[in-house]
Amino acid sequence: MERLIIIGSGPAGLTAAVYAARANLDPLVLAGGLYGGQLMLTTEVENYPGFPDGIMGPDLMMKFREQAERFGARIENVDATSVDFSKRPFVVRTADNQYEAKSVIVATGASARWLNIPGEEKLRGRGVSTCATCDGAFFREKRIVVVGGGDSAMEEALFLTRFGSSVTVIHRRGGLRASKIMAERATAHEKIDFIWDTVVEEVLGDPVMTGLRLRNVIDGTTRDFAADALFIAIGHTPNTAIFEGQLDLDEAGYIDSPDGTSTNVDGVFVAGDVNDIRYKQAITAAGSGCKAAMDAEKYLEALEFAVKEEVHT
């Protein structure tokens, strides 16, 4: 029986692992086949404190991992495929194993949605990004495009005006989904212009992005548009499929938590982007991983104390 299983190995899961291992909880981390989370898909990270010269996303995650292992966290690169939180001990299954645990931290993150168009994957980190906060500063005085019509797209576009020589928002419809205030701010900004009723069909350039192939969805015409960066802001999908029916989720599929670490199941905690529709930063995920581990420690302490008392009486 495990005392603590951590599902996920991005900044939240691995920070929880560092804290839990140092608290002698002997955590087992089910890191996922594609371990390390979203930072494994990023190039340079310049806003993670402690690295004044920046650090590559995958290198940062290897450091997180080494630090957790140094204190004894056991990390397996396997996906959790299903859970049963309706009974105790909790059950977590992988393709080949079934684990029982007294407590669980869910840190499975969220995945940025991609357009799934030609050139997008090849030019990731070479012009194509899903995070303006992370990558905007690489495009000073460059022509920047943002795809999307929601609040995220407006927020990204407004943020990117600090860097780009121009910021063009491309939206597939003729009206924005964003809240009125965000839409007004973006439309009023002198550096931001809009291309409506248009989809991006291909990202162009080799080895770096040089433009986009656009298609007007009303008349079907296509044209090439010169640009240096494409920020895709069409939403995130929380990685919660295996928790449906087990944990309370909000309407967007994120795990509901009244305080950012607890869930509707006592003993199951949550950390990182899987509960964060707002900030989605490595540092905020790491902070919540720390909190979840400390709360799990308190929970286990009380649980194991209660069991000891029962044995004595």
Q: Which residue, 58 or 253, is less far from ligand NAP as judged by CB?
A: 253
- List C-alpha distances in Å: 219 to 175, 197, 198, 214, 215: 17, 9, 10, 12, 9
Q: Which residue, 10 or 148, is less far from ligand NAP as judged by CB?
A: 148
CB of 212 to ligand NAP, least distance (A): 12
- Count, residues in the chain: 313
Catalytic residue among 134, 228, 276, 290: 134
CB of 208 to ligand NAP, least distance (A): 23
CB of 182 to ligand NAP, least distance (A): 6
Q: Which residue, 24 or 237, is less far from ligand NAP as judged by CB?
A: 237
Which tokens hold the place of 272? Answer: 């990182």
Closest CA to 76 of 29, 36, 34: 29
Q: Which residue, 40 or 217, is less far from ligand NAP as judged by CB?
A: 217
CA dihedral 57, 69, 8, 152 (to 10 degrees): -30
User: Is residue 299 a contact partner of residue 267, using CB atoms and an 8 Å limit?
Assistant: yes
With CB atoms as reference, the residue minimizing the distance to ligand NAP is: 150
- List C-alpha distances in Å: 19 to 22, 108, 245: 5, 17, 29
User: Is residue 225 a contact partner of residue 200, using CB atoms and an 8 Å limit?
Assistant: no
Q: Which residue, 174 or 307, is less far from ligand NAP as judged by CB?
A: 174
Residues that bind ligand NAP (CB under 6 A): 115, 147-153, 155, 172-173, 177, 179, 199, 234-235, 277
- List C-alpha distances in Å: 70 to 5, 63, 66, 111, 161: 17, 10, 6, 28, 42
CB of 261 to ligand NAP, least distance (A): 21
CB of 154 to ligand NAP, least distance (A): 8
Active-site residue 290, yes or no?
A: no
Active-site residue 134, yes or no?
A: yes
User: Is residue 226 a contact partner of residue 127, using CB atoms and an 8 Å limit?
Assistant: no
Catalytic residue among 59, 135, 206, 256: 135
Catalytic residue among 131, 228, 273, 295: 131
Which residues are tagged catalytic? 131, 134-135
